[in-house]
Amino acid sequence: MTIEVRVPDIGDYTDIPVIEILVKVGDQVAAEDALITLESDKATMDVPAPQAGVVQSIQLKLGDRVSQGSVVLLLEPLASTAAAPAAAPAAAAAPAPAAVVTSAVAQAVPAAASARDIAVMPATAAATAPALLQVAVPDIGDYHDIPVIEVLVKEGDLIAAEDALVTLESDKATMDVPAPAAGRVGRVLLKVGDKVSQGSLVLELDTVGDVANAAVVVPAPAAVAAAAPAAAAPSAAPTPPAPTSTPAAAAPMRLPPGAPAADAAGAGVGVDFTVAHASPGIRRLARELGVNLNLVAGSGPKARITEDDVKAFVKQALSAPPVAVAASAVAGGLDLLPWPKVDFARFGPVEVNPLSRIKKISGANLHRNWVRIPHVTNNDECDITDLEALRNQLNAEMAKSGIKLTALAFLIKAVTVALKTYPQFNASLDGDNLVLKRYYHIGFAADTPNGLVVPVLKNADQKGVLEIARESSELAAKAREGKLGPADMQGGCFSISSLGGIGGGHFTPIINAPEVAILGVGRSTIKPVWDGKVFAPRLMLPLSLSYDHRVIDGALAARFNALLGTLLADMRRALL
């Protein structure tokens, strides 16, 4: 019953590259779910699933060139469940049809098991009794005894296939163990801090009893065990997304190169190379190049330091700001005092909570950005009295349409116009080059239950305020549901961190490297403004523009902020 999914009519394009594969073997997809993304010279387009089913095998890979009719993947249609969605609530209530659902799941599970090497051991005979699956840690590469840092589900939770169950952390990466099938979580067989290896039992999964419910409930975000969103960032400083790697793509990845700042002079006579995981040949190369191997992260098998790692380290050292190069090896390039060690319990009761994974990842990025980028923040205020009047009026007019114009949408539009006027803000440093971007992708910090994430609104210059409003609220909704993909968070040119809905005036946002500026927006307040004759009550919006002083000088930043203010004061100017 497997069907071949082919590339549909994509107009006149032939041989265009696959730039993203959005599903993997074992995934359950709904009709119209995007399977892969193609990119022509004009646009990217998704190939949707023709019907619901389980992905059996993927017939192409990233970079492959395809045309109409090229086979994308093999899909095992979920005949029974596909027909069921509408009827499912009833099915769940009635015992009889449950058997139908069971068979569908029984089909899906072996596919997942064989294709992705998930150790799924039905505890009882197939479809007669409730199928209690023992979910074990799948193949996680060469890691053994790595700690569980997060248990994302608890007994009784309803979960969908591929939902993350627990998060493991090796020295190189964190990875989620996904659910092999939908179901209700039975006993959880491990806890945070346990050390696991391939085959260690994670939990019991009852795949039958509640599958029908689960299938129905899936669309409702509340019931979905959050597949942890890739990255989050503390309020003022969005960090680049660091996708959690699932076992299917569990290639060890390098941590962001935040920690070891370059110390080119660090490989002197006093430096001992006996710990670094590097062969004699690599040690020799490191000596030649003056690289302190103890600061180099290995990308080879078992974190072995390769020739490329040493060269990449040198490249990074050379492109780092001179201050970091000159600094000593201590504390990532800064010769700092050690962190004060205080026994807080001496002064009163305390509670110690380990930092979450997201905090640790974003913390390293924030620290790098804060110490490596010479930040200056330009604070300004702009008059949005008229803008707010317009916004409220438009929202009243469009109340029925369901679209709500947000202040953020206007901010994104105004920022895009300002970026066009001052292209140095739409740039990144790459060694001795300044890369000026000819596209306008604007990131905005979104508050979610899982932390702050920074979805990126693409091609803001080609969109009207209404469209920006619609798209940004869609992205924000996706963020809240934990459904942002890596693609949703990549490619940003400039970020906006708006705390206006919460409060506060000016603050110092941290630049989201490799971007060169970030706009922090505070809460607007009515202030008396001297209009030349009298003080008039005006709604004033605090703007805090942090910029990378290596790229942007103070006068330019002041101009950028002033232009933003002018635009926001009278959005008609954005049309000019």
User: Which of 300/485 has CB closer to other proteins?
Assistant: 300
Quote the radius of gyration of the chain (alpha carbons, Å): 27
Pairwise CA distance, residues 337 & 241, whole Å: 31
User: Which of 254/284 has CB closer to other proteins?
Assistant: 284
CB of 352 vs other proteins, minimal distance in Å: 25
CB of 196 vs other proteins, minimal distance in Å: 17
The per-residue DSSP string of 326-348 comes to HS-SGGGG---PPPP---GGGGS
Catalytic residue among 277, 367, 506, 549: 549
User: Which of 283/478 has CB closer to other proteins?
Assistant: 283
Angle between helix axes 554-569 and 385-397 (nearest 10 degrees) is: 40
Pairwise CA distance, residues 69 & 501, whole Å: 49
Pairwise CA distance, residues 329 & 335, whole Å: 7
Peptide bond into 514 cis (omega under 30): yes
CB of 110 vs other proteins, minimal distance in Å: 29
The per-residue DSSP string of 131-193 comes to -EEEEE----TT--SEEEEEE---TT-EE-TT-EEEEEE-SS-EEEEEPSS-EEEEEE---TT
3-state class (DSSP) for residue 313: helix
549 is catalytic: yes
Pairwise CA distance, residues 233 & 417, whole Å: 26
Binding residues (CB under 8 A) for other proteins: these are: 269, 273-274, 277-280, 283-284, 287-288, 290, 302, 304
CB of 309 vs other proteins, minimal distance in Å: 14
Q: Strand ranges (DSSP E) for 361-493?
A: 375-383, 427-430, 433-436, 442-444, 446-448, 451-453, 456-457
Q: Are 99 and 229 in contact (CB under 8 A)?
A: no
CB of 305 vs other proteins, minimal distance in Å: 9
CB of 267 vs other proteins, minimal distance in Å: 8
- What is the dihedral sign for C-alpha 325, 326, 329, 331? negative
**Direct distance between the N- and C-terminal alpha carbons of the chain, in angstroms, rounded to an integer:** 58
User: Which of 287/549 has CB closer to other proteins?
Assistant: 287
User: Which of 281/532 has CB closer to other proteins?
Assistant: 281
User: Which of 269/342 has CB closer to other proteins?
Assistant: 269
Backbone φ and ψ of 102, nearest 5°: -55, -45
User: Which of 24/287 has CB closer to other proteins?
Assistant: 287
CB of 557 vs other proteins, minimal distance in Å: 44
Nearest to 81 by CA among 60, 57, 106, 58: 106
Which residues are catalytically annotated?
Answer: 549
